[in-house]
Amino acid sequence: MDIQIQWFPGHMAKAKRQVQDALKLVDAAIELLDARIPVSSRNPMIDQIVGNKPRLVILNKSDLADPNLTKQWQKQLERPNVKVIAIDTIKGEGIKEVPRMASLLVADQMAKLAAKGRRPRATRCMVLGIPNVGKSSFINRLVGRKATKTGNLPGVTKGQQWIKVAGSLELLDTPGILWPKFEDPEVGFKLAVTGAIKEQVFNFYEVALKLLQWLTEKNPDQIKVRYKLTDLAPDIPTLLQDIGARRGLLMAGGVVDELKAAQLIIKEFREGLLGRYTLDLP
């Protein structure tokens, strides 16, 4: 299954410049990833863009990912200058750790500023992430109702806002859009099933068939229970038909509406109704 999406080197170069300019204004970067696809949901140039700047990696949507694999990913992604937190922005789990961990990451920097006689100030962080990884939800959850815009600081492009967070933290949303890289069809598939790319650009039926194949290999019993099937059809297109029939997704003449059945499977996977899965393995 091939998902045809263009990766724009020109757009990427512009975004990279914008982010690098804004990085000069912050103490640390907060990089948001989807806990189900920590590799597929990251921009491939991120290490090059962020460089040695302290970084807090947020594994968002951890409530939908395999908890054991999330723990493995946390260990794998941590480095001396990089800390990793798993969060769920919907329920707010792990959110309170963010300001504390950001302060820890930049403690040495702040100590050096204090030694030079500078006044203490809030930790400044930039939030980075590919489109649809949940940046807005993360910022809104972190800020809560006490969001106060602190006005434009020198060197900040018009339209960029510093957002104050309780607990001595200021956030700067990313100026550029860091696209994921779609060249590998597997990455395209993972971005499609997790909802990270627009639904107009992929074939629901093909993606649902591939997802069903994957799910029947991983956890066939979950499919049986969820769709009240006594056994699973030996071929995936028939299984999709069976699921559509069980859910009453029928057109005139009792024919199963395959598109609706495909949309249902992808929707229920995204909502965690088919189980908690991590598609990128550590």
Query: Which amino acid is it at 33?
Result: L
Question: Annotated binding site, which residues?
Answer: 60-63, 132-137, 176
Cα separations (Å) of 68 from 222, 228, 264? 18, 28, 27
DSSP character at residue 2: -
Residues contacting 168, CB < 8 A, separation 6+: 99, 103, 122, 123
Rounded distance between C-alpha atoms, residue 243 and residue 222, angstroms = 13
Strands, sheet with 162-165, edge to edge from the N-terminal-most edge strand = 82-86, 55-60, 28-34, 123-128, 169-173, 162-165, 148-149
Residues contacting 114, CB < 8 A, separation 6+: 120
Question: Annotated binding site for GTP, which residues?
Answer: 60-63, 132-137, 176
Beta bridge partners of 233: none
By the 8 A CB rule, do 34 and 61 touch?
yes
Query: Which amino acid is it at 50?
Result: V
By the 8 A CB rule, do 122 and 128 touch?
no
Residue 161, SS3 per DSSP? coil
Query: Which amino acid is it at 16?
Result: K
Residue 265, SS3 per DSSP? helix
